[in-house]
């Protein structure tokens, strides 16, 4: 039970940290908290990827952006579009 509550809490936090939106014919994911970045979501069969990443904050530790990218991947896996999207 605690694991489910912890997971739901993490998902709620992720929904505050990321947004996905259309930019012309491209779908963009943007991280809204440090380290902020934008990237183009690409879909290749059942897999998705983030390409053309633009870092919006100065980052000196590569492990910080690596963790943020893993979190973005988790967010994409669990992403369920709303009717507005």
How does DSSP assign 35-85, residue by residue? SPEEEEEEEETTEEEEEEEEE-S----HHHHHHHHHHHHHHHHH----TT-
pLDDT surpasses 60 at 9: no
For 12-64, what is each residue's pLDDT tens digit? 556 789 999 999 999 999 999 999 999 999 977 667 789 999 999 999 999 99
User: What's the domain range around 24?
Assistant: 2-78
* Cα separation, 11 vs 76, whole angstroms: 11
Indicate whether 83 belongs to any domain: no
pTM: 0.75
Mean pLDDT of 4-9: 44
Indicate whether 74 belongs to any domain: yes
- As for how many domains the chain has, the answer is 1
Indicate whether 16 belongs to any domain: yes
């Amino acid at each position: 039970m605690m694991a489910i509550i912890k997971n739901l809490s993490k998902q709620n936090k992720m929904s505050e940290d990321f947004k996905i939106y259309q930019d012309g014919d491209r779908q963009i994911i943007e991280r809204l908290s440090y380290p902020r970045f934008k990237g183009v979501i690409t879909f290749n069969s059942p897999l998705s990827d983030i390409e053309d990443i633009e870092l919006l904050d100065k980052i000196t530790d590569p492990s910080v952006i690596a963790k943020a990218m893993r979190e973005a991947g988790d967010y994409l896996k669990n992403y369920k579009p709303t009717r507005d999207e």
